[in-house]
Structure 1
Amino acid sequence: MDMLHQRSARQAWGVRAAWLLLALVAALYCGWRFAGPSPLQTNLLALLPATEADPVAERAVDTLASALGDRTVFLVTSNDDAHAKAAAKQLGAALQKSGAFGSVTAELPPFDLAQIAALYMPYRFGLLAPADRAALAGGAAGALGTTLRDTLAQRIYSPLRGGLTTPLADDPFGWLERWLGGLPLATSNLEVEDNLLVAHRGASTGVLIVATLPGSAYETKTQHAVHAALAQSESALREAFPDVSVARTGAVFYAESARSASEHEVHLIGVASLCGIALLMMWVFRSPRLLLLGFVSTALGIVCALAATLLVFGKLHLLTLVFGASLIGEAVDYSIQYFVVYLGAQRNWDARCGARAVRPALTVALLTSLLGYAILMWVPFPALKQIACFAMVGIVTAYASVLWLLPALLTRAPRRSRQRVFARSARLLTLWHRTIGGQRAWFVAALLLIVAIPGWLRLTSDDDIHLLIQRDPSLVAQEDKVRDAVGVDNSAQFFVVRGDTPEAVLQRAEALGAKLDALNGTTNQVGSYQSVTQFVPSAKQQSEDRALLAQHVFNDPAALRATLLQAGFKDEVADAWLAAYAQPQPPLSVERWLAAPWSQPYRHLWLGEVDSATRAYAAVVIPQRVTPHNEPALIALAQGLPGVAFVDKAASVSKLFGAYRVDSGWWLGGALTLVLVLLTVRYAPKQVPSRDVPQKVPLWHRVRGGIATTLPVLLAVGVTLAVFGYAGVPLNLFNWLALMLVLGVGANYAVFLREGCLRADADADLGAVWTGVLLSAATTLLSFGMLGMSGMPVLKSFGATLALGIAVSVLLAPIGMPSESRRAA
């Protein structure tokens, strides 16, 4: 016996050492990941799946998000013009000095507009404004000569011109100057005053400051630096200029707000769940030791889940972290079931026998839970895949720790008995089972069905992505203020134009531009738009413009020279201009334009080569104003042009939400069927005892156990949907996905009770099982119920659905128990 005891002790120490090693490895890996660049992901776009059928369109979304994500804008406003400008200069200098920004532009650096004209000057004979093109193409030969003389005279004797100008000797007829006037360099309400970008609205003056970040807006380090720099700079600004207000917008502020809110919720949900679970377990078990062991099992599950998620995905989204805090209530369920067996055994406790006793119940419960979470892995939402991975690893680890670690730690018999509590629980269970179980179960099911049907008929849905991603209202108000001052309405909807060559992309973009110009004469007008072809016309268009000049202007060089000389041009100037035309230049290319430093603010319009295998190229065209009224016309316009697609990320995600919401109903039905099959196989008797010869079990008797055990969670799903219908709460995809987890978690309670009936030797033992079930449900409700109070609409939908479904599941769980007569048999 002593040798056997020593061997058992060595095995126990070996198990403890193995789990300790696993915990250390997982904890060290998590610590290492968090010690470097933060792995937390605060980018809201990371929540969303790839929605565009065309991968080029999806890349365009990422490119624009990246281009705009590292840009931060401040608007300094005051009713005193001088104060607004002085405050803007002070704020810009303070932000630049802080080192939190890569660059800060308050006062515009000296810039010679001639640099822009200099880029286009060699290509001027292929650049015609639409009005000049129409005049040249539509004029008769004689009338055109008169028009050219009039244009030349107006160009020579016109008053001083502003904006982009060209030398008279290089552009005598002003064609290039008028073409330059059409560049979308100033598509906003801003004006340049005292080297500042200023917007006047009523009596107020707003001065714009543009800053770029040194790193990603979603890095915690960057967020902290920006927050600290802005807090200090604004404090000094308020002291110097009390009448000045500062509005700000940028991805870094939304990311910092989301991170702070999520960290607060992690602490709130985690601490509240831990405290509530600790109080419940102490009230029931009256054992600090069991409380500690329960949390050891839960902590192992969460640490391993965190390490596995970081290892698989590389990043951890805040949504996953908040959800992980709520996993405490579910992970502790397995240890609770082990503890009730431990306390029920009293002096006859054997750790290995206890593990064998709960293994069937925990295994079936684990499989149903894994089924619910595994379905989330199939949904193409990155955050949901992370949540599924986190939860699956966590509950598998908790399950394994209960079966192997807890028996190695809980070797001594309990010092005190909870038989009185278990006996009272058994009496309560018996009374409740007699009320809703047995033959009455079908009456209860029918009654609930009758009550639920009107609620189902009132169900509605709302898949709008904006309802699921909550943004800080104060930041939204500040962003709207900046948008109103700048005058730019749209950056979320745009066209993607693709082609096999850059030239094909430019030609298609020009065709799209012509269609948009035509829309501006209708009720579907979009205002101005930004396109790379406004900066670089296609080679075809440049060639046609040059051909137009050749046909109508340079067709008689001698007469043209005489016209120039008659207007007062010197011989050498006229000859130089004519010689410049005679030396053909290759057309202006996108690469040449991109190489110009001043093109930087507009480079996001050109995506370039997006697929090296097929050598596909793409560009984006951004209309200024997209409304629900004109959007159908824009979609139809894109569908009528080859290689053009209209992209509305929010609408695409909302549409995808709706499609998956419908599909999730089928997934839920399939999952319920799988659970029914699993439980039927588990609880189907092979034969019934007979006094003479064993008889085969009729089909109804073989499936009755599985149906009875599945019925509580099936009714819970139905009641939950009915409540949402009666309450007028529209359903979204996340409500349906939460019902998957109601199935996975809620089915456990009926399983625990039925498994308890299979192994219970007395009512007190069954009372212990029911106590464990109620305690498990209470801890799970506490954790998931906290999600219902989350500020994240996605988690709120999850939490409310889970809490309601699990509450109904545990109340109806006794339906799954066999009747007292069959238990006695």
Structure 2
Amino acid sequence: MNSTELRTATPSWRQWTLRAAWLLLAVVAGLYCAWRFTGPSPLQTNLLALLPATEADPVAEEAVDKLAGALGNRAVLLVSSDDAAHAKAAALQLGAALSASHAFASVTARVPPFDVGRITRFYEPYRFGLLTATDRALVASGGAETLRNTLAERLYGLPSAGLATPLADDPFGWLQHWLAGLPLAAANLTIEDGLLVSHRGNTTSVLVIGTLPGSAYEADVQRGVLLAIAHGETALKAAWPDVTLARTGAVFYAESARRAAERDVHVIGIVTTVGIALLMLWIFRSPRLLLLGFVSTALGILCALAATMLIFGQLHLLTLVFGASLIGEAVDYSIQYFVVYLGARQGWDARRGSREVLPALTVALSTSLLGYAIVMFAPFPALRQIACFAIVGIFVAFASVVGLLPSLMTQPARRSPRTLFAMAALLLARWHALIGGRRAWVVALVLVAIAVPGWLQLRGDDDIHLLIQRDPALAAQERVVSSAVGMDNSAQFFVVRGATPELVLERTEALGARLEALTGASAPSGWQSVTQFVPSARQQRADRALLGAHVFDDPAALRALLAATGFRDEVAQAWVNGWAQSDAQSGAQPGAQSGAQPGAQPGAQPGDSVLRVEDWLAEPWSQPFRHLWLGRSVSTPDAFAAVVIPQGVSAANQPALIATAQALPGVSFVDKAASVSRFFGVYRHDGAIWLAGALTLVLALLTVRYGWRGAIAVAMPVWLAVGVTLAVFGYAQMRINLFNMLALMLVLGVGANYAVFLREGAMRAHADTGAVWTGVLLSAATTLLSFGMLGMSSMPALKSFGATLSLGIMVSVMLAPIGIPSIERRKA
């Protein structure tokens, strides 16, 4: 063995240093990933995290997040049966089982004993400023006769079924009428035997509500809730076979999305890995090369995983599933190195082989990074994660091929698939003769002519529901619960903002008046707002002024009217004195209110006649409705906000609701799904401009390496691949969306590699073109296998990615020989 062979066969200290450095990197990245996954799960299962900020007003965007958080920590269960006794008993059993499971912070099956008189006593000090619209109109009509009729109806009419007020404190029933309008319960729910019950036909349903101990998007919370409900449902079926259980809540959708993503990762990862292993074994016939190829790929995936969690803090499900498909692209670099290795046979020199393959890998890496870098600028958090994951993964895979594999592949190959390479060379020569050289322009013109009609048929569809698909079974159960409860909307709502809480309340009342005026198909079935619990100070003072002008303007006549109907003098006088005292205090109170949050101490003094928001928030019974008051904005400190949630929003009345919001200052109508869909449409159109710019940048990049003629020849296959892919979508009547456009960026970045690999192989002295073509076909096959598996994903967005990438890459590799020079020995 001569000195050169000895130097090649025996790893130097530099080679051992490289191996140690890569081993250290792998250990650090592996330990970091293990540490992150052994603690609280870093997986982000919140589908809203995929979506960008779409509202022009940051306060409105903040309202979306707050409302989602307020309503997302509940699990709502509906126990139903045609036998009312069975439904009630089963609901109590389920509530007890869920409480005993400790999977919930609290479970409400039986409504806790509550003194409803507390609500009456809370509002009683403010009674002279609380009038319904009907009572306001009656009082304004004036006259002793009107007051006498109102008093007679109060004394001799049927008793109220709602909150009752003492006759001495509310002789005309004005406060009782106002209390009857409080939206304290959903439209279809009543309290029977201490349970929240809904009756629909012969079916009786009982509501059970669980409060989660943590975020609905934490894996441990999801597992605990699902396990507890599964055990509870099994016990119900055993005791009452006629009982059914429906559920809804963010925790169920999040768990379903997480489970589907984990299934996707396992299926895509396993199928891709096994498929790539079989392909590489068939071509290379070397388990050692297979192992080294996966070492390079594993390093890229591991470092990408660690970097993504380090930078973003969490890992979105889309990123995890997409990462499983990145195996096919990351292994391309090692495949190209193996082709040079096998083609060199006994003349192999690891360092020289690295230098030979470096130009091709560098150009390929640059085009891939360009494609992913454009995706990085997309305004979607999950897409930024995907781009970051891919950039780190393919860069580390590239670096490991250039820096690590030469130190591990010092010995020449013992055998080479010469027959396969010879067949591939023959196939390449014939295919190049058919589509290469000057014929390439004819091929391009024919493909463009065929594609134009398809382009003209392209249509877009940016509906977010096509991209984020909810579990159909859960959606059906949600409809059952919503129908029983009578509350069918929290996705569309109004946001009312103002410089002070008082201004917010006044604008909310103006919105309520506009909604009340809507009629026919334009009218919502109802709405919830904070002013149904706390009128504005201006409205309270206006009601007081109305009473002062038409009721308390003549105290003697008022006392006489009360005495004539049987009120004792001291009772009548106490009521009149209560008015006088509260009237004096009301005049001393400031008009502005503070923006206290739940749990704040009441700001009003005893006897204070102006009801304030913070007083209501401090009441325990206000807890289910506190999400209606957002308080001081975090994003805009000088703003306060509240939400108004309409019911029965439909395509028929939504335009009227939007017009109502636009007609009022400080009011906006929020429909997150519609906003994102519009946003998708804008960026889909912008994506076409990005794609055109990227095609130009790739041409400029290739020109630096190959000159303008060579650059056009190398870029033409991927240009045509993009055009053919769009044409196929047009002919197939498949509507394109933003994810299709972003996938075309990746077609550009990945598909350009095949023509680059072929041209670089043809430019290398003594290169085996059959080996190069085999490597290109193998790279394309592994990439198609991995990205094609995205078509099996349960996530529609990834299906769009997979379909576009697969078609684009297939066309790219078929046309890649166009980039080969007519005379292979010529340097371009």
Matches within 5 A, 1:490-639: 490-519=489-518, 521-584=519-582, 585-611=608-634, 614-639=637-662
Find out whether 1:719 has 2:724 as its counterpart: yes
Is residue 292–residue 405 contact of structure 2 (8 Å, CA) maintained in 1? yes
1:348 deviates by 1.3
Residue of 656, 667, 690 corresponding to 1:667: 690
Matches within 5 A, 1:349-498: 349-498=348-497
CA distance in 2, matches of 1:532, 1:726: 53
Unpaired runs of 5+ residues, structure 1, are: 685-702
1:821 deviates by 7.1
Find out whether 1:730 has 2:740 as its counterpart: no
Farther-moved stretch of structure 1 (155-164 vs 298-307): 155-164
CA distance in 1, matches of 2:8, 2:402: 20
Farther-moved stretch of structure 1 (128-137 vs 181-190): 181-190
CA distance in 2, matches of 1:145, 1:554: 12
CA distance in 2, matches of 1:824, 1:669: 29
1:586 deviates by 4.3
1:646 deviates by 0.5
Q: Which amino acid aligns with 2:110?
A: E
Q: Which amino acid aligns with 1:81?
A: A
Provide the residue aligned with 1:116 in structure 2.
119
Provide the residue aligned with 2:671 in structure 1.
648
Is residue 344–residue 418 contact of structure 1 (8 Å, CA) maintained in 2? no
1:566 deviates by 2.1
1:7 deviates by 9.5
CA distance in 1, matches of 2:706, 2:281: 34
Find out whether 1:755 has 2:760 as its counterpart: yes
CA distance in 2, matches of 1:770, 1:737: 28
Farther-moved stretch of structure 1 (659-668 vs 188-197): 188-197
Find out whether 1:338 has 2:337 as its counterpart: yes
Residue of 67, 87, 92 corresponding to 2:90: 87
TM-score by length of 1: 0.95
Farther-moved stretch of structure 1 (190-199 vs 235-244): 190-199
Is the partner of 2:826 in helix, strand or coil? helix
Is residue 293–residue 406 contact of structure 1 (8 Å, CA) maintained in 2? yes
Find out whether 1:70 has 2:98 as its counterpart: no
Provide the residue aligned with 1:13 in structure 2.
16
Distance verdict in 2 for CA 1:612–1:654, change over 3 Å: closer
Q: Which amino acid aligns with 1:727?
A: A
Is residue 284–residue 416 contact of structure 2 (8 Å, CA) maintained in 1? no
Is the partner of 2:793 in helix, strand or coil? coil
Is residue 8–residue 410 contact of structure 2 (8 Å, CA) maintained in 1? no
Is the partner of 2:78 in helix, strand or coil? strand
TM-score by length of 2: 0.95
CA shift digits 1:698-728 (9 cap, x unpaired): xxxxx21111100000000011111111111
Provide the residue aligned with 2:37 in structure 1.
34
CA distance in 2, matches of 1:150, 1:781: 83
1:614 deviates by 4.2
Residue of 764, 768, 772 corresponding to 1:769: 772
Provide the residue aligned with 2:301 in structure 1.
302
Provide the residue aligned with 1:22 in structure 2.
25
Farther-moved stretch of structure 1 (13-22 vs 583-592): 583-592
1:612 deviates by 7.5
Find out whether 1:705 has 2:710 as its counterpart: yes
Q: Which amino acid aligns with 1:749?
A: Y
Distance verdict in 2 for CA 1:5–1:411, change over 3 Å: closer
Matches within 5 A, 1:240-389: 240-389=239-388
Q: Which amino acid aligns with 2:472?
A: P
1:178 deviates by 0.5
Residue of 786, 795, 818 corresponding to 2:821: 818
Is residue 760–residue 766 contact of structure 1 (8 Å, CA) maintained in 2? no
Q: Which amino acid aligns with 1:71?
A: R
1:386 deviates by 0.4
Is the partner of 1:607 in helix, strand or coil? strand
1:153 deviates by 2.1
Provide the residue aligned with 2:747 in structure 1.
742
CA distance in 1, matches of 2:449, 2:50: 39
Is residue 762–residue 825 contact of structure 2 (8 Å, CA) maintained in 1? no
Provide the residue aligned with 2:209 in structure 1.
210
CA distance in 2, matches of 1:527, 1:227: 34
1:424 deviates by 1.5
Matches within 5 A, 1:800-811: 800-811=803-814
Is residue 39–residue 316 contact of structure 1 (8 Å, CA) maintained in 2? yes
CA shift digits 1:178-206 (9 cap, x unpaired): 11111112332111111111111111111
CA shift digits 1:543-564 (9 cap, x unpaired): 1000111111111111112222
Farther-moved stretch of structure 1 (61-70 vs 299-308): 61-70
Distance verdict in 2 for CA 1:613–1:234, change over 3 Å: closer
CA shift digits 1:269-301 (9 cap, x unpaired): 000000000000000001111000000000000
1:4 deviates by 6.5
1:377 deviates by 1.0
Farther-moved stretch of structure 1 (198-207 vs 804-813): 198-207
Q: Which amino acid aligns with 1:118?
A: R
Q: Which amino acid aligns with 2:618?
A: A
The CA RMSD over aligned residues, in Å, is: 1.4
CA shift digits 1:462-505 (9 cap, x unpaired): 11011111111111111111111112121110000000000000
Provide the residue aligned with 1:692 in structure 2.
none
1:456 deviates by 1.0
Name the % identity: 69
Is residue 367–residue 753 contact of structure 2 (8 Å, CA) maintained in 1? yes
Q: Which amino acid aligns with 1:808?
A: V
Provide the residue aligned with 1:129 in structure 2.
132
Is the partner of 2:522 in helix, strand or coil? coil
Residue of 798, 807, 814 corresponding to 2:801: 798
Is residue 300–residue 392 contact of structure 2 (8 Å, CA) maintained in 1? yes
Q: Which amino acid aligns with 1:9?
A: S
CA distance in 2, matches of 1:64, 1:602: 11
Is the partner of 1:31 in helix, strand or coil? helix
Find out whether 1:784 has 2:787 as its counterpart: yes
Number of aligned residue pairs: 800
CA distance in 2, matches of 1:55, 1:613: 7
Distance verdict in 2 for CA 1:774–1:821, change over 3 Å: closer
CA distance in 1, matches of 2:187, 2:721: 55
Provide the residue aligned with 1:696 in structure 2.
none
CA distance in 2, matches of 1:203, 1:514: 37
Distance verdict in 2 for CA 1:824–1:749, change over 3 Å: closer
1:145 deviates by 0.9
Provide the residue aligned with 1:683 in structure 2.
706
Distance verdict in 2 for CA 1:124–1:26, change over 3 Å: same
1:407 deviates by 0.6
CA distance in 2, matches of 1:92, 1:256: 21
Farther-moved stretch of structure 1 (741-750 vs 567-576): 567-576
CA distance in 1, matches of 2:22, 2:284: 25
